[in-house]
Amino acid sequence: MRKKPQKRKMTRNSLLKAAISSALLIGSSANSMADYVEAGDWSKVRLYGHNNNLISQYTRSELDYIKAHFSLNTIEKAHNKAIYEGQSTLALKQAASRIKNWNAKFPTTNTKSLYYWNAEIAYDNSYKEIADMLTNTPWWFKDTPNGVPRPFSFEFPNVTSQWKWADVPNNAVSSSDLYGTFIDAVGLAQRRGTFSRTMDAIRKLRGFTIYNGFFVLKTDYGVSVNAGNRVLDITDGVFVEFMASGSFCTTKEQAAKQIELLLEVPADKTIVCIGWPESLVRKTGPADHRFSMVAYLICANANSYYGYMDKGWHKVFVDANKDSIPDASNGLNHMDFKRRLGKPLGPGNRISEYVYDRRFENAYVFINLETGNSTINWNP
């Protein structure tokens, strides 16, 4: 007698895959109009993406979304770890190629993908190269202060070990469609006493590089973790994770210092600023992109990008192919990201200690860090 076929059970992974498609960190709907503009183009606010998909390669809707919005995009570690568990380098290279060659809806956009490289934290569970180093040369690592075995902090006792980790993104960029390297956690080198060694490793990186830690405004163990502009001379640009918003920029003094330092960044350098809906500096107006975006526009140059974390780091969306991504009215669907901005008519202007404004061809922006209010006036 022929057996009755059994109903196939859904595994935990398949259930997750049915419900979740990505860990895209910026965005709302893959069907919104294209907001892509490249460096040097002032027609709209230039957008930066920072994302991964933890359980698969990027879906078609995710690729459409990335290509529609971001001319610069960092692919986070642990991308597609269901297939490439512990082999982030292979996954990032494969993802960069998919992004570059994806031409379904937006064949003219040219998203540049960056390799995620942490300068201080050794993610041996995400990178085979680090796991191999940990096995073969364990003296290159040391435990964190609280004794937890992971993450590790690099010791770099000699030139060979110091440069070994820098070889990984160099080889990945030179052998794939990756454009360059996103350098994370540079500020941590101050607390860990490895700043000079970290600088030497960064000097070895080839291709386009931006670094996180330019102005973190955070103190751990009584020591600042703000790398400042000391790394700017040996990289292509800076990444500000909390622009006048978020948990690490909480006072008017901090926000004013951010703007002043960014106004001094040379025009040929890249600036990436991340805005958050929550802000202790903002006192009026809605909890959305506007306050942080105005602060960004005050100091934006022709090579700058704005990223908006309306969903927060590592928040996931449900499957875009089923049109079930929440319509984020405060996200990138907002008309501020569709409007014509135009070239700046001059640099950001400091009216008083905490007050700035700037004029563009099609907009006027104003921010008062003391009263916590901001304005974007668009030309009709």
What is the residue-level pLDDT of the chain in tens, covering all 380 positions? 444 444 444 444 443 333 333 334 433 333 344 689 999 999 999 999 988 888 888 888 888 888 988 999 999 998 888 899 999 999 999 999 999 999 888 888 999 999 999 988 888 889 999 999 888 988 887 766 555 556 667 777 666 777 899 999 999 999 999 999 999 988 877 777 778 888 889 999 999 999 998 865 555 444 455 666 778 999 999 999 899 998 888 899 989 989 999 999 999 999 999 999 889 899 988 888 999 999 999 999 999 999 988 765 544 333 333 333 333 333 677 899 999 999 999 999 999 999 999 999 999 999 999 999 999 999 98
- Rounded Cα distance, 248 and 254, in Å: 9
DSSP secondary structure string for all residues of 191-237: HHT-HHHHHHHHHH--SEEEEE-SS---EETTEE---GGGGGGGSSE
> Where on the phi/psi map is residue 213: left (φ > 0), alpha (ψ -120 to 50), or beta?
left
Roughly what angle, to the nearest 10 degrees, separates helices 159-174 and 88-101? 30
Q: CA of 334: how far to CAs of 32, 308, 339, in Å? A: 10, 11, 9
Whether 195 contacts 228, CB under 8 Å: no
Provide the strand spans (E) within the chain: 48-51, 72-75, 112-118, 121-122, 141-142, 152-154, 180-184, 208-212, 219-220, 223-224, 237-240, 270-275, 304-308, 349-352, 355-359, 363-368, 373-378
DSSP assignment, residue 336? G
Query: How do beta strands 363-368 and 373-378 pair?
Result: antiparallel
Structural domains in the chain, CATH included, are: 24-337 (3.20.20)
What is the residue whose two structure tokens read 């934006």?
300
Q: In this structure, which amino acid lies at residue 202? A: I
Radius of gyration of the chain (CA): 21
pTM of the model: 0.85
What is the residue whose two structure tokens read 């935990």?
12
- Rounded Cα distance, 199 and 20, in Å: 38
> Where on the phi/psi map is residue 215: left (φ > 0), alpha (ψ -120 to 50), or beta?
beta
Nearest partner of 115 among 51, 53, 179, 201, judged by Cα: 179
Whether 308 contacts 329, CB under 8 Å: no
Query: How do beta strands 180-184 and 112-118 pair?
Result: parallel
- For 326, other C-beta atoms within 10 Å of its C-beta total 12
Q: CA of 244: how far to CAs of 66, 77, 250, 253, 344, in Å? A: 25, 26, 7, 10, 21
Nearest partner of 260 among 229, 221, 293, 224, judged by Cα: 229
Dmax over CA atoms of the chain, in Å, equals 88
Coil, helix or strand at residue 270: strand
Nearest partner of 58 among 24, 14, 15, judged by Cα: 24
State the pLDDT at residue 328: 34
- Rounded Cα distance, 315 and 89, in Å: 22
- For 291, other C-beta atoms within 10 Å of its C-beta total 29
State the pLDDT at residue 16: 39
- At residue 353's C-alpha, the angle toward residues 352 and 357, to 5°, is 50
- For 345, other C-beta atoms within 10 Å of its C-beta total 10
State the pLDDT at residue 327: 34
State the pLDDT at residue 225: 54
Nearest partner of 241 among 292, 287, 191, 275, judged by Cα: 275
- For 353, other C-beta atoms within 10 Å of its C-beta total 10
